[in-house]
Amino acid sequence: MAAEGELKLLGTWASPYVSRVKLALHLKGLSYEYVVEEDHFNNKSELLLSSNQVHKKVPVMIHNGKPICESLIIMEYLDEAFPDTAAPLLPADPTAPSLASGPPTLTTSGKTGEEKAEGMRHMLAAVDALEAAMEEWSKGKPFFGGDAVGFLDVALGGLLSWLHGTEELCGAKILDAAKTPLLSAWARRFGEMDAAKVALPDVCKLVEFAKMRRVQLEAAMAATTEMAAEDELKLLGFWASPYVCRVKLALHLKGLIYDYVEEDVFTNKSELLLSCNPVHAKVPVLIHNGKPICESQVIVQYIDEVFPDAGVTLLPADPHDRAAARFWAAYIDDKMAGGGDELKLLATWFSPFASRVKFVFHLKGLSYENIEEDLKNKSDLLLKSNPVIKKVPVLLHNGKPLCESMVIVEYLDETFAAVGPSVVPADPYERAVARFWVSYIDNKLVAPWFQVFRGKTKEEKAEGLKQMFEATAVMEVAFRECSKGRPFFGGDAVGIVDVALGSQLGWLRASETLSGIKLFDPAKTPLLLAWAERFLALDAAKASMPESGRLLAYAKMRQAETDAANASK
């Protein structure tokens, strides 16, 4: 079977991830050519750089000229591409436990003593979890895979030499026969296998290598710290901005120390930001020894040029390659990230429908200008932009208006598909179902709420409240069906149903306080109640929802105005 294809593995002798692939190849009895990346840290081969253009790391498996990257992906590929060679690594039963994503992270890497101690704590916790997994999955047999080695055995086995080496380097027992007897016995059995003897690096050699690398890294860190200490770097940013993330990435890749200042970019920009970026008044701004630099791409290039000896080099040395990199960076901003887009939102701070749009802005990390409207004295811009309904929210995208909150939400999701998470399902049927529930929320829950809040008679308000309770009961069932046991209507992540209902939570809770009636009841709607807490805990919700105390005071004022108006008629 192996003769049917040419297999070539790019690797380094010390890499535990390369060891995983070697183990799989030997267990499958496959012949392959091993290409050693001699200087993997400083001088990567052209073959490696062309085969793994994203991460530029080993292992890379080349099968008939086609590269496959990432150790676990390579293992699955070998098992599926060569099903008739030796025993399969992955279980035939798709429901059987295989931990296809690999074992928990086992690493003690860190720059400071505190980071290393925290890494060791996480590693020992992961080992405890694997001890329990061994007991549950092996069912008393020698390996995680049962009688024969399986996927998880290889994934964890590839790390064994490094685990033993870490024990020697740190003086700590990771695989302790007293605390993790099953895992310790498994490690001995695995290490005695012929495939392990061939594929795993010698522990003593590995320890010497680790000591050498530690000296090199500590020297590099000391040089970087000394150099960076001479410069004062301050970054003005906003947590959700993808452009700020660019600068943070560059600073961390270069190993530079900086002071981070979080800005309130939507409602209260600091004097420092306004003085440092008087043209756009936007983040990110990097202040280097008191001098401001603006625009993320400009800052990244500046950092690379001013600190050429720190960390990795970001810009290519060749002028043509550098120009090409700058071209594609500009292309990303112009065509993908909405860098050339002007987004303005006409809104009121208390509008739940405006909150829907703001939530998506924050979720996607899109910068926008919020224009607060006075609905008693509507601006010419609002009347011109929404001449039919004359209501907020209105989105102005490069001067073109869009109205209606859920229309805007879907527009943003489609127009900025490459930016941040998506809230609209990709599958047409799931999209149709989600839109149905959005419509149900607006018609059966929100509309009756207006009836309760603005109703002229007790009977009218009572009927509205009755409809709200009925709708809430239906939404409890809908959540169970849509979420399938996961946190949100959209599954593991928020979707348009979450956005539609979540934006109403501030007003619903204010109404509960005013009326003393609980709409989300722990006995009747426990799923919705728990969902509401999860939704409100999201950073995007905190940034987009009105402050509860201020909203309650406004609701009381509006209720009094409505009651007075009804009484005078």
More confident residue, 117 or 284: 284
Mean pLDDT for the chain?
Answer: 86
Q: How many residues does the chain have?
A: 569
DSSP string for residues in 458-510: HHHHHHHHHHHHHHHHHHHHHHHHHHTTSSBTTBSS--HHHHHHHTTHHHHHH
Share of the chain above pLDDT 70, in %: 90
Which residues contact residue 140 at a Cβ distance below 8 angstroms, ignoring those fewer than 6 apart?
A: none
CATH architecture of 2-204: 3-Layer(aba) Sandwich (3.40)
Pick the CATH number of 343-415 from 3.40.1170.60, 3.40.50.150, 2.40.30.10, 3.40.30.10: 3.40.30.10
pLDDT at res. 86 = 76
Residue 339's pLDDT band, with cuts at 50, 70 and 90, is low
The CATH fold assigned to 231-336 is Glutaredoxin (3.40.30)
Residue 344 has pLDDT above 70, yes or no: yes
Residue 538 contacts residue 494 (beta carbons within 8 Å): yes
pLDDT, tens digit, for every residue of 199-249?
Answer: 999 989 888 887 887 777 666 656 555 544 467 899 999 887 888 989 999
Residue 7 contacts residue 25 (beta carbons within 8 Å): yes
What is the side-by-side strand order in the sheet with 233-237? 259-262, 233-237, 285-288, 291-294
pLDDT at res. 96 = 45
pLDDT at res. 85 = 81
DSSP 2: G
Q: Which residue has the tokens 């055995």?
A: 153
Residue 174 has pLDDT above 90, yes or no: no
Lowest mean pLDDT among 52-56, 195-199, 265-269: 265-269
Residue 559 has pLDDT above 80, yes or no: yes
Q: Which residue has the tokens 């120390």?
A: 257
More confident residue, 181 or 119: 181
Query: Domain limits of the chain?
Result: 2-204, 231-336, 343-415, 428-567
The CATH fold assigned to 428-567 is Glutathione S-transferase Yfyf (Class Pi); Chain A, domain 2 (1.20.1050)
Cα torsion angle, 412, 417, 423, 427, sign = positive
Within its chain, how far is the Cα of 490 from the centroid?
16
Average pLDDT rounded to a whole number, residues 152-174: 86
pLDDT at res. 98 = 44
More confident residue, 209 or 197: 197
Q: Do the two domains 2-204 and 231-336 of this chain adopt the same fold?
A: yes
